[in-house]
Structure 1
Amino acid sequence: MSGLDLTGRTAIVTGASRGIGLAAAQAIAAAGGNVVLTSRSQESADAAAAQVGGGNALGVAAHAVDEVAARRCVETALERFGSIDILVNNAGTNPAFGPLIGQDHGRFAKTFDVNLWAPLMWTALAAEAWMGEHGGAVVNTASIGGLAHEANLGLYNASKAALIHLTKQLALELSPKIRVNAVAPGVVRTKLAEALWKEHEQAVSDLTALNRIGEPGDIASAIAFLVSDAASWVTGETMVIDGGQLLGDVRPFRNGAGFGV
């Protein structure tokens, strides 16, 4: 599909030192795009850019909620590549585990600062610097947790539910120049999600319709599609990529049970 060609376009990917962010940067670069990868430290940002390879990848140290660093990153992207056509708001955190009423304000503030305020701030900076005049595409990394309820992850899921709402609001406010969408991954093999799969991967796979947990590349492929011209009439959407996890427990349907056998 020619619409997937990103040659000449420049993307900023936040939280790109590993996992979904790094895979998204690699997918965009593979489609011909220039990529600016952010991480908390310059060392990890440089290492991530080296994994993308070539002269079209640049690492920049920028904590997601540091506005000064974010502005510097935007300026650096424009100086190096001349445009900011794509923004992937991937940086996320989850310092809170347990019932909602057991959380303190510090954990609440950190969760919502990184998972909600940062995507809004980076989108505003990109729109102000380039996209507002020239157009562009934004993708926010949400979660299927933002579409459901589960024990012990209420605060994180609330931040992702808010991010899904924010995605739709920004899609309206920034139209028609800027498209804004989100991806909602299920359980993916990332460090952030380790508690959900590392000690019981087979059990999670057994509950999943497609019989495996996700890989960062599964989400990256969807992100590359959403920022491309192949998705030029898509905005305000949240694409669920979860192997069927939201469908529920697949085990009763296995071994032919789903066909009335």
Structure 2
Amino acid sequence: MGKTLSGKVVVVTGGSRGLGREMVLAFAAAGADVVIASRKIEACAALAAEVRDQTGQRALAAQCNVGDWAQCGALVEAAYEEFGRVDVLVNNAGMSLLYPSLDQVSEAMFDKVIATNLKGTFRLSALIGARMAAAGGGSIINISSVEAVQPEPMAVPYAAAKAAVESLTVGLARTYGPAVRVNTIRCGPFDTDIAKSWPPQVREFMAGHTVLGRIGDPGDIVGAALFLASEASAFCTGSTLAIDGGFQ
């Protein structure tokens, strides 16, 4: 892998595991220094140590619940204090909650899903996007889901939040362009920690709904992430790139 991100600083939320972890490792291998943010600082610190050992790149572990306005601000300040710049922001933190029926979704559950998936993405993008624009450039990558366009009954609040994220991408691109590019990766089913709790029939259902006949390996997101983070996508903004195995 070439050093396509040499000298760059990348912030990844939800960065300590799953897709976030794969992107962090790929960005560092491509020459970037990384900020690894999640609610579990121990996991972030462990991955930061791994990055330093494997790549020699600088890595900052940062505890942040992206659904909290103040914690988003603190994450931004920590990143700029440590590195003086942010070139790429990956809004990867997300979550969905199980519920027996829609009428039993509590206000607290709904608010938590919206806060983690949408509120944090908005706030971090607004804060960092403004600084990127003032500095003359940057790339924001929002992580969405096929649920945004094919919502399942088991994930309606999550699907609504991800649909809003895709709309937000276009609005941010228009707000912070031409200096800052903002794009979405729309993910299909991936074999992450969440998938490990799926019953066998759910895994079979998900795989059966992809043209490629399988769910994604976490590393399958790396190519798209590197493309959108680098100058390879210099003429790409306000776009959604589906990495979903042809989910249908």
After TM superposition, the score normalised by the length of structure 2 is 0.90
The 3-state SS of whatever aligns with 1:187 is: coil
Deviation track 1:200-222 (CA, whole Å, cap 9, x = no partner) reads 43453344221211011111321
User: How many residues align structurally?
Assistant: 245
Distance 1:207 1:71, change over 3 A: closer
Match for residue 124 of structure 1? 126
Query: What is the aligned partner in structure 2 of residue 60 from structure 1?
Result: 62
Cα displacement (A) at 1:198: 5.6
Distance verdict in 2 for CA 1:98–1:175, change over 3 Å:
farther
Check conservation: 2:35, 2:60, Cα contact below 8 A: yes
| Cα displacement (A) at 1:36 | 0.3
In structure 1, how many angstroms separate the alpha carbons of the residues matched to 2:148 and 2:125? 20
Bigger shift: 93-102 or 29-38? Answer: 93-102
For residues 1-261 of structure 1, the aligned pairs below 5 Å read 5-53=4-52, 54-196=56-198, 200-246=202-248
**What is the aligned-residue RMSD (CA, Å)?**
2.1
SS of residue matched to 1:190? coil
1:62 is displaced (CA, Å) by 1.3
Cα distance in structure 1, aligned partners of 2:217 and 2:151: 23
Query: What 5-or-longer segments of structure 2 have no aligned partner?
Result: none
Name the aligned partner's letter for residue 37 of structure 2. Answer: T
List per-residue Cα deviations over 1:176-230 (Å, max 9, x = no partner): 1111111111110112344556664345334422121101111132111111100
Percent of counterpart pairs with the same letter? 37
Question: Any conservation in 2 of the 1:99–1:154 contact (CA below 8 Å)?
Answer: no
What is the CA–CA distance in structure 2 between the aligned matches of 1:232 and 1:240, rounded to whole Å? 18
Structure label with greater radius of gyration: 1
Runs of 4+ with deviation above 6 angstroms: none
Deviations 1:121-166 (A, max 9, x none): 0111212444433311000111010011322211111111111111
SS in 2 for 1:245: coil
Q: Which residue of structure 2 aligns with residue 253 of structure 1?
A: none
Letter in 2 for 1:127: G
CA–CA distance in 2 between the matches of 1:178 and 1:92?
Answer: 23
Tell me, in whole angstroms, the C-alpha distance in 1 between the residues paired with 2:172 and 2:49.
Answer: 33
Q: CA offset at residue 83 of structure 1?
A: 1.2
